[in-house]
Amino acid sequence: AVNALGNIKRFHIGKVYRRDQPALSKGRYREFYQCDFDIAGVYGRMVPDSECLAVACEILDGLPIGDFGIKLNHRRLLDAILDICGVPAEKFRTICSAVDKLDKEPWSEVRREMVDEKGLQGEVADRIGEFVILKGKPWDMYKLLMDGKKFGNHKGAMEAMEDLRICFEYLEAMDKLKFISFDLSLARGLDYYTGVIYEAVCMNGNTQVGSIGGGGRYDNLVSMFQEAGKATPCVGVSVGIERVFTLMEERLRQEQGGSIKQPNVAVLVASAGENLLLDRMKLTKVLWDANISAEFSQQENPKLKFEIANALDRQIPFMVISGEEEAKEGKCKVKDLKARTEETVDVSDLVKTLREKGVVPVGCEFAMELLNGEQSS
């Protein structure tokens, strides 16, 4: 804003702070890390909005967090609903904050808050309820609202629905519409949103982390820091890092039977016998030269049974064991702790043997996961 930049796209991962009450058990921390993606400037109608939603879908679909969905609404559509239902303009924001609680509270409690605490007439609240309970697949909802003339000829509502129609077409073209739910109860509590609003939620019922991301269009926020008369339209999306970690940890616990331990090395080099520290060092050097993550005990004569127990506790998948006879013959034993198998190989074939068993060089793990995923599909 202060540097008068034009059209830009930017991403950022940094620390942010929550303004409302934290809930540590649900991943709502006072201080947390957030991944942001924003597009600023003047572009084609709904093009940057659709791209931000597509980026959110790509990020969440690529993470091991289970099923997710993105709820979508339009701030002008929500304002139109309140206007059509007879809510005074000065109560729009306070009633929106009540509507925003529908993902956590039943309609009866939200209605009570509107009427008893915020002074809204009961019949007005009932009319609002007829709208905000509606949600579903984007095109189904669009057809229901337009064919049923739910908004009459309300100008703001028609413009918002046209925005959404274009957005749905773009998301469909990018194969991301399947993640979207058109939800009229979505309000997003922040007042600076001016167009589409969205919120990503985890669909795994057992893990209570609520929203894992969200965003929307905020056309007037940047102008607060610019010269009078200038405006920079913006749209963006944020993903909560800690909340994503909560989901990933929960899934890992389920897969590993309650534990989330991860091995920090691929191979533990051990020995069976006395005075074999130098042999352990030489074998480890062979693995290090091949860029294989390995370590050896720094005790002079560790007991083999304790070394095996150490590897099992740390979930290290492989052990390389040197004995007195093997050391004389230039051989060693390769122990697969998961498969519970053991074989004797020449030291010259050690790296080849481990790679055939799935051990990959440090830094290549992601590429191997990607390759395995492509082969399995």
**287: nearest Cα among 355, 236, 333, 229:** 355
Predicted local distance difference test score (pLDDT) of residue 96: 87
Mean pLDDT of the 52-58 span: 96
Q: What residue has token string 């303009």?
A: 89
pLDDT at residue 208 above 50?
A: no
CB 195 within 8 A of CB 75: yes
Predicted local distance difference test score (pLDDT) of residue 226: 66
Please give, one letter per residue, the 3-state secondary structure of 204-236.
CCCCCCCEEEEEEECCCCHHHHCCCCCCCCEEE
**11: nearest Cα among 40, 50, 41, 46:** 40
What does the block give as tokens for 359? 């051990």
pLDDT at residue 25 above 60?
A: no
Predicted local distance difference test score (pLDDT) of residue 29: 73
**216: nearest Cα among 160, 138, 158, 141:** 160
pLDDT at residue 67 above 70?
A: yes
Cα–Cα distance, 180 to 136 (Å, whole number): 9
Predicted local distance difference test score (pLDDT) of residue 270: 95
Predicted local distance difference test score (pLDDT) of residue 207: 47
In whole angstroms, how far apart are CA 261 and each of 48, 78, 276, 299? 41, 46, 30, 24
pLDDT at residue 203 above 80?
A: no
Predicted local distance difference test score (pLDDT) of residue 347: 95
